[in-house]
């Protein structure tokens, strides 16, 4: 999965939306931070709503950092609201 996401992200970013289902179907195979990071980059490039895909990973340290990359609609899905200063 890591090699696939790496190639897709670095060499075919415009094709990321075409591979969204493949990534979604294989998210459970991710077991390391580097692969997870690459997958979230691909999901972000696909301009997809992926909050529900990464939610199971937020219990681990490597998944929690991905929450910062979510766009506002995805944050609303997870109940994360921006704070004002």
Write out pLDDT tens, residues 20-77.
889 889 988 888 878 888 888 888 888 877 777 877 777 665 555 555 555 545 555 5
> Domain-by-domain residue ranges, the chain?
2-78
Confidence band (pLDDT; 50, 70, 90) for 85?
very low
Q: Residues near 40 by Cβ (< 8 Å), separated by ≥ 6?
A: 50, 54, 66, 69
**Under 8 Å CB-to-CB from 10, ≥6 apart: which residues?**
none
> For the chain, what's the residue count?
85
CA-to-CA distance for 75 and 8, rounded, in angstroms?
Answer: 25
């Amino acid at each position: 999965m890591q090699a696939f996401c790496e190639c897709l992200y670095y060499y075919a970013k415009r094709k990321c939306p075409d591979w969204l289902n493949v990534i979604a179907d294989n998210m459970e195979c991710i077991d390391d931070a580097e692969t997870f990071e690459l997958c979230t980059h691909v999901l972000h490039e696909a301009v997809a709503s992926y909050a529900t895909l990464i939610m199971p990973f937020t219990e681990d340290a490597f998944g929690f950092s991905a929450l910062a990359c979510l766009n506002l609609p995805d944050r609303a899905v997870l109940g994360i609201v921006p704070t004002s200063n």
